[in-house]
Structure 1
Amino acid sequence: MPKEKQFDRAAVLTQAMELFWKQGFEATSMQDLVDATGINRASMYATFGDKHAFFLAAVDHYIATVSSRRLERLQQTGSPRSALADFFDDLIAFSCGDGRRLGCLLTNAAVEMAPRNADIDERLNITFLRLEDAFYDNLLRAQQAGEVANGRDLRAAARLLTGTVQGIRVLARADSDDGTLRDIASEALKAVA
């Protein structure tokens, strides 16, 4: 009878996600993953497959945890404009806090892999569209509340904010100071008013 796996899948995915986030796909070896997660190589291969499959599982975990939590901020009750401001405040604090400056795992993957990896490209497109749609829904509520001008192209504004998020995450990884990132967010929010 095969030995039962003795590890918490979500915890292992979080550890792998953090490692891939910090080092990228190419720079992370299977031995790095074994060391970071504490599970043996045989269990890792049996559970997650090869490094590419493990990376995809870590990216999916990131989407389900980190990205989903960000989107929830845009749906909070109260002023939609305040929710937007809170979203960007949280994004900058998360991107720069605790010395992390890791950027966004998805953005990092896009730069490293998307043009030649259909699996990553598909996940990026879906996730970026979800972010754009969340911004669009928020802006529509803001327009209905009189917080965004009528006649504004809300889809284009949502795309601007989606691009702003990616720019902030890249600049955070490049070690831009918090003030610069706050200026970028502030100007983007003014542009969609």
Structure 2
Amino acid sequence: MSTGRPIEYDREHSLQKALELFWRNGYKGTNLKDLCDETGLSKSSLYSVFGDKHQVFLLSIQSYSDALLDELRLQYQSSESPLRFIEKVLLDLADEASPGKDRKGCLVMNSATEFAQTDPQVAKIVGNTLRKMASIFENAVSSGKESSDINKNVEPHSTALFLVNSIAGMKTMVKAGHPKKELLEIAKSVMKHL
């Protein structure tokens, strides 16, 4: 007799489905019926497993943020140099503007523009994500300065903030439909500062 999938699998699978829905439609563009249809959960199961729509949204943003930061750390650790790591992040981002690519943008940045001024819980997740991104870049810049891979005159903390700001702007431009050529120009300009 089969016991079915483990509850944790169902929860993670359903959370991933909810995340994708919020990422596509935004919070305001997603209703409870959409969440139930996408996750395969009934309304009562959705509330039992996650709580209300807002809680599902917060869990989705946090899950996305965790995956984003894990990927950024992995890219840094596996890069041949700090400078190549930063360049790859920027070029990968510019590649998101290629024809035929899905231009959903970044769920963290999308949530910041939709809610960060009005929802302290969203603002906290967004703020923590941006601070952790800046910390990864600050470590890369510091390491790059030590190895002479990055200009010794750049200040790691402010350069990291500049990189996060540039990435946020580039992600917004990708979502707004700017061509890859423009994103590559921005990436090239950012790299000149290093």
- Please state how far the C-alpha of 1:16 moved relative to its aligned partner: 0.8
Which range moves more in the overlay, 129-138 or 180-189?
Answer: 180-189
**Structure 1 residue 18, shift from structure 2 partner:** 0.9
- Tell me which residue corresponds to 1:86: 88
Q: State how far apart, in whole Å, the 2-side matches of 1:143 and 1:7 are.
A: 44
CA distance in 1, matches of 2:112, 2:133: 15
Q: Distance in 2 between matches of 1:189 and 1:119?
A: 34
1:108 aligned residue: 110
CA distance in 1, matches of 2:96, 2:154: 30
| 1:118 corresponds to which of 113, 120, 134 | 120
Q: Distance in 2 between matches of 1:36 and 1:151?
A: 51
Report the Cα distance in structure 2 between the residues aligned to 1:25 and 1:88, rounded to whole angstroms.
Answer: 27
Per-residue CA distance 1:18-47 (angstroms, 9 max, x = gap): 110111111110111111111111110101
Residues 97, 180 of structure 2: 8 Å contact kept: no
Of 62, 74, 80 in structure 2, the residue corresponding to residue 60 of structure 1 is 62
The 1:6–1:81 alpha-carbon spacing in structure 2 relative to 1, beyond 3 Å, is closer
Counterpart in 2 of 1:182?
A: 184
**SS of 1:170 mapped into structure 2:** helix
Aligned to 1:142: 144
CA RMSD of aligned residues (A): 1.9
Partner AA of 2:171 in structure 1:
R
Q: Is residue 95–residue 103 contact of structure 1 (8 Å, CA) maintained in 2?
A: no
SS of the residue corresponding to residue 151 of structure 2 reads coil
Q: CA deviation at 1:187?
A: 0.7
Q: Give the whole-Å Cα distance in 1 for the aligned partners of 2:77 and 2:85.
A: 7
2:20 aligned residue: 18
Q: Secondary structure at the match of 1:103?
A: coil
Which residue in the other structure is 1:129 paired with?
131
Aligned residue among 154, 157, 164 for 1:155: 157
Question: What one-letter code is carried by the residue in structure 1 that aligns with 2:36?
Answer: V
**Aligned position for 1:43:** 45
2:29 alignment partner, SS class = coil
User: 1:48-73, CA deviations, whole angstroms, 9 ceiling, x for partnerless residues?
Assistant: 11110010011111012233213321
1:14 shift after superposition:
1.2
Structure 2, gaps ≥5 residues long: 1-5
* Runs (4+) off by over 6 Å: none
The 3 A distance-change label for structure 1 pair 95 and 131 is: farther
Percent of aligned positions with the same letter in both sequences?
A: 25
- In 1, the alpha carbon distance for the partners of 2:38 and 2:99 equals 22
Q: CA deviation at 1:6?
A: 9.1
Conserved 8 A contact 2:82-2:143: yes
Is the aligned partner of 1:74 residue 2:72?
A: no
